[in-house]
Amino acid sequence: MRIFFVNRFFFPDHSATSQILSDLASFLAARGHQVTVITSRQRYDAPDALLPTEDDWGGIRVSRVWTSRFGRGFLPGRALDYLTFYLSAAWRLLRLVQPGDLVVAKTDPPLISLVAAWVCGVRGARLVNWLQDLFPEVASALNVSLAQGPAGRVLARLRDRSLHRAAMNVAIGEGMRRRLLKLGMDAERVRVIHNWADEQRIRPLAPAQNPLRREWGLADTFVVGYSGNLGRAHEYQTLLAAARVLRDQDDILFLLIGGGASMDALRAEARAQGIENLRFQPYQPRERLAESLAVPDVHLVVLRPAMEGLIVPSKLYGILAAGRPTLFVGSRDGEVARLLAAGDAGLSVSVGDGKGLAEAILKLRGDVALRERLGRNARRLCEERFARQAALQRWEQVLAEAAG
């Protein structure tokens, strides 16, 4: 198969969508498929990066197009980054795609499926939508005015048209699949393939054997971790309230590793309130991800309830692979909460229940046997349901279906 992926970020970028795309593209290339990735020259947290315009990575053709470089912090600038990527990616696809090819459109930038569907129609190719989220519903839930009212309805209709025209739509969770079916999508052209972590590289690691934990001076600390992007979809006031409740517990530390639109706001609020049991570290390179995910004794995953069925937090899969319990802050009836309960791999608290989160942390700190049981179950859940190789093989099958 000749397969074209379209996403703003790709290797060596460290963002979640980049890493899983890099995994899949590499697997397919190794299987003998001809793989091309249309992406930008930017990195997720470095808009001024200028990666090579044309590259070969492990047999994958990487074609990086020109875009503006305002970055994520300035919304009008981000919109211009999106627009220039749409135009550049469309032009590059038109030049490269041939009849019968597969074009796999992710969802960064939002609505790139509209561009991909148009190109596929012009060139006689087949479209596969890889839905990491549902836009404009995500933006509407976050009160972005452009995605609400008549404008939001127009965007949703355009998006739906691109989904109906696709040979296959791949959702990353059952909640998202149900939403797609409610939108009238043909069930025969909707598949669920969860995101994944590399469980061979990320394995349970005892605190005493973790060099990164020693480097960060956390040998005798109970660490509550948050790893990855802290964005607008990820509520943090509950975390902050729990940190305030536990501020006098000298052996408990909240460790936040990563970045995102809300990370600076959390840091500023903690400083203003005199909450000192939070520590921040930047994103860690992928070769140290196993150590980084093993630093916390328990991990936090947070998701606003309005995001249920629109997003599935990718960080969950790395936590499961690392064999650590998850403390989920979000809807107690949501997909993540049900998954953790069914697998006995973590605990859930409602958004706004800072006291409940603090109590759950104290419970896990004081009960080593409970922590170990939840951690073992987390690793088992990863191996049985979210193994990387199984997901990659499933992707190859779905692409073969889409190719007819």
Q: What is the CATH number of the domain that holds 245?
A: 3.40.50.2000
Assess if residue 166 is contained within a domain. Answer: yes
Measured distance CA(256)–CA(70) in Å, rounded: 25
Q: What is the pLDDT of residues 284-299, one digit of tens each?
A: 988 899 999 999 999 9
> Which secondary-structure segment (H or E) carries 48?
none
Closest CA to 297 of 251, 354, 266, 258: 251
Q: What is the pLDDT of residues 348-358, one digit of tens each?
A: 999 999 999 99
Are 63 and 26 in a shared domain? yes
Are 166 and 21 in a shared domain? yes
pLDDT confidence band for 232 (50 / 70 / 90): confident
Span 35-55, average pLDDT = 90
DSSP one-letter code for 97: -
Are 137 and 211 in a shared domain? no
Are 162 and 307 in a shared domain? no
Are 156 and 174 in a shared domain? yes
Are 109 and 21 in a shared domain? yes
Yes or no: say if 374 and 344 are a contact pair by the CB < 8 Å rule.
yes
Span 201-224, average pLDDT = 93
Whether residue 14 is predicted with pLDDT greater than 90 in this model: the reply is no
Measured distance CA(341)–CA(333) in Å, rounded: 10
Span 69-98, average pLDDT = 89
For the sheet with 298-302, list strands across it.
Answer: 278-281, 252-259, 222-229, 298-302, 326-329, 346-349
Span 261-270, average pLDDT = 92
Tokens of 37: 């990735």
Span 227-251, average pLDDT = 94
Predicted local confidence at residue 73, as pLDDT: 67
Are 330 and 289 in a shared domain? yes
H helices present in 183-334, as ranges:
211-215, 237-245, 263-272, 289-294, 315-321
Predicted local confidence at residue 111, as pLDDT: 94
Question: 346-349 and 222-229: which strand pairing?
Answer: unpaired
Measured distance CA(216)–CA(281) in Å, rounded: 10
Q: What is the pLDDT of residues 351-396, one digit of tens each?
A: 999 999 999 999 999 999 999 999 999 999 999 999 999 999 999 9
Are 189 and 261 in a shared domain? no
Percent of the chain with pLDDT over 70: 100
Assess if residue 264 is contained within a domain. Answer: yes
Helix (H, G, I), strand (E, B) or coil at 326: strand
Q: What is the pLDDT of residues 142-196, one digit of tens each?
A: 888 778 889 899 999 999 999 999 999 999 999 999 999 999 999 999 999 999 9
Tokens of 227: 């790893």
Yes or no: say if 150 and 122 are a contact pair by the CB < 8 Å rule.
no
Question: 54-57 and 60-65: which strand pairing?
Answer: antiparallel
Task: Name the residue range of residue 66's domain.
Answer: 2-196+387-403
Are 213 and 317 in a shared domain? yes
Assess if residue 202 is contained within a domain. Answer: no
- The residues that bridge with 308 in the sheet, in sequence order, are 311
Are 164 and 254 in a shared domain? no
Measured distance CA(248)–CA(78) in Å, rounded: 41
Measured distance CA(329)–CA(253) in Å, rounded: 18
What sign has the CA pseudo-torsion 5, 11, 15, 19?
A: positive
How many domains is the chain built from? 2
Are 292 and 349 in a shared domain? yes
